[in-house]
Amino acid sequence: MRLQKIIDRLMPPALAWRLGRAARERLELERFGHFYRVFVAAGDLCFDIGANLGNRTRCFRHLGCKVVAVEPQARCFRKLTKDFGSDPGIRLVRAAVGRQAGRATLHVSPDHVLSTLSQAFIDGTRESGRFATTRWDGAEEVAVTTLDELIAEHGIPSFIKIDVEGYEAEVLGGLSQAVPALSIEWTPELAENARACLKHMGGLGDYEFNLSWAESMRFSRPQWRSLESMLLLIDEFEGETEMFGDIYARLKVEANRQTHGTGTISSRV
């Protein structure tokens, strides 16, 4: 019997689980870090909107970035506070992000990654069958801030990650200036939500776009798309119930910096 198998059999299950978790986190940091280095470098500011349990926050911090992590769910925010509350490079904000500041009702699911402010997300993914058996039987009244307010307080971020289960257009509705780069989660059943996000970004600046399917952390193609091309892709996959992904946007002037300053994006994915 190999030595590793003997160690695995003798090791207490709790210790084995903890070591396994640590290994998974290291691999995740490597995979995510390789991808996000396209957009950020040490010292940059990142916004993690919909931080959930903080895997993107952890990645950005691993890359040496300062992070503003925004999360409305009570149980997720407790975890964020436990893991990151003592880190001076991370600012934790317990709030949702929307078009206007105020208060809102968060529809809470036992599957915390699916909690949302968007009734359209719940209805659309139930009807499509993607989350037909998911429950949203909890509710939390949460504070709502805006991207403009976060920028006024913390500065302009180099990158904004937005993952808010169908509420992305409302989040971007509270942004009135271009930022170098950002991402939004794309659920094909909610095509109008994605279209609204893309058109809003197009009104803020000269952006180009790419897509990463699911959690692959790879771009679907080395060439970036125009706004018109990305809108056509949204039309093509409207109603798709198996796939999902993240849409990435970067200012073309930022793309030139990446290409001529720190290496071409296609060489890193």
Mean local confidence (pLDDT), 147-175:
98
Hey, how many other C-beta atoms are within 10 angstroms of the C-beta on 78? Answer: 13
pLDDT score, position 12: 54
pLDDT score, position 128: 95
Asked if residues 57 and 28 have their Cβ atoms less than 8 Å apart, the reply is no
CA gap 210, 82 in Å, rounded: 34
Helix (H, G, I), strand (E, B) or coil at 21: helix
- The full set of domain ranges for the chain reads 25-268
CA gap 3, 124 in Å, rounded: 51
Say if residue 31's pLDDT is above 70.
yes
Q: Strands 181-186 and 245-251: what pairing?
A: antiparallel
Asked if residues 116 and 106 have their Cβ atoms less than 8 Å apart, the reply is yes
List all residues 6 or more positions away from 127 whose beta carbon is below 8 Å from its beta carbon: 189
Hey, how many other C-beta atoms are within 10 angstroms of the C-beta on 8? Answer: 11
CA gap 171, 101 in Å, rounded: 11
- From 1.10.357.10, 3.10.450.40, 3.40.50.150, 3.40.640.10, which CATH number describes the 25-268 domain? 3.40.50.150
pLDDT per residue as tens digits for the range 179-210 = 999 999 999 999 999 999 999 999 999 999 99
pLDDT per residue as tens digits for the range 78-136 = 999 999 999 999 999 999 999 999 999 999 999 999 999 999 999 999 999 999 999 99
Mean pLDDT rounded to a whole number for the chain:
89
- CA 9 centroid distance within chain: 38
pLDDT score, position 1: 39
pLDDT score, position 266: 30
CA gap 79, 269 in Å, rounded: 31
Say how many CA atoms lie within 13 Å of 167 toward its Cβ. 27
CA gap 257, 40 in Å, rounded: 12
Q: How far apart are the first and last CA of the chain?
A: 39
pLDDT score, position 259: 52
As given in the structure block, the two tokens for residue 141 are 């009244």
